[in-house]
Amino acid sequence: MKYLIIGLGNPGAEYENTRHNIGFKVLDKLASLSNISFSADKLADVAEVKFKGRKLILIKPNTFMNLSGKSVHYWMQQSKINIDNILVITDDISLPFGVLRLRKKGSDGGHNGLKDIQNVMNSVKHPRLRFGVGNDFPRGRQADYVLGDFTDEDYTTMDERIDLAVKIIQGFTTIGIDRIMSDFNGK
């Protein structure tokens, strides 16, 4: 079985520790568990990980967040992976920091990366793992917030929450989305 695991974020050192890049951070952790590093490829940085007989193709789109759909579509076609076997990891301002929510489908919730993926794929029916980053920003300052760095308080539990996100991804690829949603959502 093959899976395409997409971590959303923006390329470049200036975005590395921003809230919008939590998808990249989760994939970095997953790759590091297998001592695998990412390499630049067409439209994304890519790594392949084996987990319990499954092949996980990890991509970090280098198209910038708002154009993520182009990269996701290309790698789905290139890898011949069905939409049910993709998982998009993204930040979510509607969830408190560190709260994880796995869904089979759904709206973009105002997230431009998800919006572009859904527009390119012409579907909202793809699994996604939302990683809460909180919403402590004044009205009209959402972009500054998601492009801002994590707080010191966020860092106190970040490793634990990223580890949980990795377990959710691993479970998604082995025991399936329904069981993982039941076991982990909101924890």
Active-site residue list: 20
Amino acid found at 66: N
Number of Cβ atoms within 10 Å of the Cβ of 173: 23
Instruction: Report yes or no: 85 and 3 within 8 Å, Cβ to Cβ.
Output: yes
CA distance 98 to 160: 9
Mention every residue, 6+ apart, whose C-beta is less than 8 A from residue 162. Answer: 25, 26, 29
Parallel, antiparallel, or unpaired for β 54-61 and 2-7?
Answer: parallel
12 phi, psi to nearest 5 deg: 110, 145
Instruction: Report yes or no: 111 and 66 within 8 Å, Cβ to Cβ.
Output: no
CA distance 22 to 145: 13
